[in-house]
């Protein structure tokens, strides 16, 4: 079976290479093409005999109309984008919807995936302490301790009281690291969030301002929810709730303190779940420098 998958965005070649190689074992030939390069693919002699076309096209990208027209010559078609006419897809709506969810990883259980990894690590000899054996137990442990950087349904004091704090970082620990950041980045944080401790996830510990780093620990494993990118306050207004994906907004002190803690206490970092906010921070996405906030967050 030959499948042509056209997407309006660039494919992550390394990830999809594994998918392609695995499907070949089952006799499925999957070819991946981004929309900008696909105009010369459909109808070319070497692509004859395509059994299924999967099209996730965008109107604003080159070749949209021509690809739709040429694609109708392929007997089995599935349009994933809402911009593609409904009659383009030759499958039932339920099948198309399920396929779209499958490709976008909707419905995956991140907690259960994490539990599986912990079980494998324990069998391999890693120290995972008394880590829960199921995803539900991990979730319940996080929620019972309120081990998340949240403020709408709880308070920072309650997080500390219930055991959701991995660490309390004071200014004496944070300031030397923060002051060593590239000057443009450091000044941007101060401009957007003021001086330490900034806004949100701060707590008084013996009279000192500290930032609460949340999570739970089992042996050498720390399970942490990603800190908030830039939303602080109960009201969802422009004054206290900053846009999650704003490319010009620096991450707050609590975000930076959390990732400093991760750098100081981790040999490896594994991200579970959907995409996070790390890749949307100000700075370049390739060829990062020490002034780019993704690089600042994860370190060298």
Which domains does the chain carry? 2-103 (3.40.50), 138-298 (no CATH)
Distance separating alpha carbons of residues 73 and 41, to the nearest angstrom: 13
Over residues 85-100, the mean pLDDT reads 76
Output the CA–CA distances (angstroms, integers) from residue 182 to 59, 124, 179, in the order listed. Answer: 40, 40, 8
Give the strand order in the sheet containing 165-170. 165-170, 208-214, 202-205
Helices (H) and strands (E) in the chain, counts: 11, 9
Task: At 299, list the tokens.
Answer: 């370190």
Distance separating alpha carbons of residues 72 and 65, to the nearest angstrom: 11
Over residues 47-76, the mean pLDDT reads 81
Indicate the pLDDT class of residue 104, thresholds 50, 70 and 90: low
Of 97-106, 125-134, 184-193, 215-224, which gets the smallest average pLDDT? 97-106
Strands 29-34 and 2-7 come out as parallel
Of 151-160, 175-184, 213-222, 238-247, which gets the smallest average pLDDT? 238-247
Backbone angles phi, psi at 52, to 5 degrees: -140, 130
7 pLDDT more than 60: yes
264 pLDDT more than 60: yes
Distance separating alpha carbons of residues 36 and 286, to the nearest angstrom: 21
Q: What pLDDT score does 42 carry?
A: 61
The answer to whether the predicted template modeling score (pTM) of the entire model surpasses 0.75 is: no
Distance separating alpha carbons of residues 107 and 130, to the nearest angstrom: 27
Q: What pLDDT score does 168 carry?
A: 97
18 pLDDT more than 50: yes
Q: What would the pLDDT profile of 135-173 be if each residue is shown by its tens digit?
A: 999 999 999 999 998 766 788 999 999 999 999 999 999
Output the CA–CA distances (angstroms, integers) from residue 247 to 63, 124, 207, 278, 279, in the order listed. Answer: 29, 41, 35, 11, 10
Indicate the pLDDT class of residue 235, thresholds 50, 70 and 90: very low
Q: What pLDDT score does 84 carry?
A: 84
11 pLDDT more than 80: no
Top mean pLDDT of 4-13, 24-33, 136-145, 277-286 is at: 136-145
Cβ atoms of residues 164 and 147 within 8 Å: yes
Element (DSSP H or E) covering residue 217: strand 216-218
Q: What would the pLDDT profile of 70-81 be if each residue is shown by its tens digit?
A: 888 888 888 877
Cβ atoms of residues 276 and 297 within 8 Å: no
Of 171-180, 256-265, 283-292, which gets the smallest average pLDDT? 283-292
């Amino acid at each position: 079976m030959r499948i042509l998958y056209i997407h309006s965005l660039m494919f992550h070649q390394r990830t999809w290479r594994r998918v392609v190689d695995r499907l070949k074992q089952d006799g499925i030939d999957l070819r991946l093409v981004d929309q900008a390069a696909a105009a010369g693919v459909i109808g070319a002699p070497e692509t004859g005999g395509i059994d299924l076309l999967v099209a996730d096209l965008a109107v604003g990208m080159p070749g949209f109309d021509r690809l739709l027209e040429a694609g109708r010559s392929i007997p089995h078609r599935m349009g994933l984008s809402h911009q593609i006419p409904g009659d383009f897809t030759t499958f039932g709506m339920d099948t198309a919807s399920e396929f779209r969810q499958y490709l976008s990883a909707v419905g995956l259980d991140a907690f259960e995936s994490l539990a599986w990894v912990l079980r494998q690590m324990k069998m391999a000899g890693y120290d995972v302490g008394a880590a829960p054996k199921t995803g539900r137990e991990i979730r319940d442990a996080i929620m019972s301790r309120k081990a998340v950087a949240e403020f709408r349904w709880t308070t920072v004091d309650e997080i500390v009281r219930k055991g959701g704090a991995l660490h309390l970082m004071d200014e004496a620990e944070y300031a030397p690291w923060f002051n060593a950041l590239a000057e443009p980045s450091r000044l941007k944080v101060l401009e957007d969030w003021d001086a330490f401790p900034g806004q949100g996830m701060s707590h008084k510990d013996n009279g000192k301002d500290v930032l609460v780093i949340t999570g739970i620990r089992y042996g050498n494993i720390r399970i942490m929810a990603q800190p908030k990118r830039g939303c602080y306050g109960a009201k969802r207004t422009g004054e206290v709730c900053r846009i999650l994906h704003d490319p010009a907004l620096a991450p707050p002190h609590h975000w930076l303190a959390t990732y400093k803690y991760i750098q100081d206490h981790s040999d490896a970092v594994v991200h579970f779940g959907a995409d996070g906010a790390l890749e949307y921070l100000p700075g370049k996405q390739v060829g990062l420098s020490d002034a780019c906030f993704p690089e600042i967050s994860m370190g060298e």
